Amino acid sequence: MLELLNRFPVKDAAQFEIFLQQLEPTTPRLYSISSSLETVDGEIHLTVARDKFSIEEEWKYGLCSDHLCSLKPGDKIDFYIHHNDQFRLPDDGQDLIMIGPGTGIAPFRAFLSERETVGAGGRNWLFYGDQHFITDFLYQTELQQWKENGILHSLDLAFSRDQKEKVYVQDRIREHSADFFQWLDNGATLYVCGAKKMSDDVEKTIRDLLLEQGAGEQAENFLDDLKSKGRYLKDVY
């Protein structure tokens, strides 16, 4: 906004009055909690990417993510819990397919952590991706541990910038489509968390795969059906 004012200065007072009336209070930023009270009682973990963008060739940072990233241990912040009764773990015995690239991994880290703590029997399959394996593999050592001890049945990774051809989570779904639909046929719940664009791409891939398998009209309704049964849940931004 300051950039805008700099570029288009408001000169007279009346105009400035109108300008001020247009402004809204800063809206709260919602973050998925990436920890489980079952595992770490009294703690809330967040997975925050410091939003970085450029205006006029100058680097700018997101208001809230920058604030959070500049905090030091011991600092206090104001927050409230925004309840989301949909995006929850199903029964312990049910299988989960989780698609959460980037910070979209947040709720799934909480899920996996809780399932490990309570000893849930259902199988867990995570699709994760980001730009680079070396620097952007969030919770790598925890995920390796969960793979090792069997909490994570499958972990499929897509690091988009590590090779010439860009690879995304939906490409991994395609590679494993037989197992993917088998899990869903067996009653697995499908979760998607992360960028809106990614979730659209994932939905399109699922539809395309069904069409390729000759599902016809059913392909269009597949995800809606799942949704109505409470077995397809999205948390996208």
Partner 1 sequence: MSEPNLSSTEKIKQASDSLRGTIREGLSDDITGAISEDDRALVKFHGMYLQDDRDRRDERAEKKLERLYSFMIRLRLPGGLLSADQWLATQDIAGEHSTGIIKITTRQTIQLHGLYKSHVKPTIQAFNEASLHSIATCGDINRNVICSAHPKQSPLHGEVHAFAFKINELLLPKTRAYYEIWLDQEKIADKKEEEDPLYQDRYLPRKFKIAIAIPPNNDVDVFGNDIGLIAIVENNQLKGFNVAIGGGLSSTHGNPATYPRLGTIIGFVSGEEKILKTIYEIVTIQRDYGNRSDRSLARLKYTVDKMGVEWFKEEIVRRTGFPLEKEKPFQFSERKDYYGWFQNQDKHWYYTPFIENGRVADTEQVPMKTALYEIAETRKLNFRFTANQNVILSDILPEDKEEIDRILKKYGIEEYTASASPLRQNSMACVALSTCPLAFAEAQRYLPSLISKIDPLLKKHGLQEEEIILRMTGCPNGCARSYLAEIGFIGTALGKYNLQLGGDHAGMRLNKVFRESLEEPAILEELDRLFAEFSKEKKKKESFGDFAVRKHWV
What SS3 string covers 126-187?
EEEEECCHHHHCCCHHHHHHHHHCCCCCEEEEEECCCCCCCCCHHHHHHHCHHHHHHHHHCC
Contact flag: residue 182 with partner 1 (CB under 8 A): no
d(C-alpha 113, C-alpha 146), whole Å: 9
Residue 43, amino acid: E
Q: Which stretch binds partner 1 (CB under 8 A): 52-60, 73-81, 133-141, 211-219?
A: 133-141
Among 66, 133, 171, 211, contact with partner 1 (rule: CB under 8 A) = 133
Q: Which stretch binds partner 1 (CB under 8 A): 34-42, 115-123, 141-149, 203-211?
A: 141-149
Contact flag: residue 142 with partner 1 (CB under 8 A): yes
- Residues 203-232, one symbol each (x = binds partner 1 by CB under 8 A, - = not), give ------------------------------
Contact flag: residue 144 with partner 1 (CB under 8 A): yes
Using the structure block, give the residue that is written with the tokens 């006029």: 56
Q: How far is CA 164 from the centre of its chain?
A: 25
Quickly list DSSP for 62-101: -HHHHHHHT--TT----------SSS----TTS-EEEE--
Among 137, 174, 208, 227, contact with partner 1 (rule: CB under 8 A) = 137
Contact flag: residue 153 with partner 1 (CB under 8 A): no
Q: Which stretch binds partner 1 (CB under 8 A): 23-31, 87-95, 137-145, 217-225?
A: 137-145
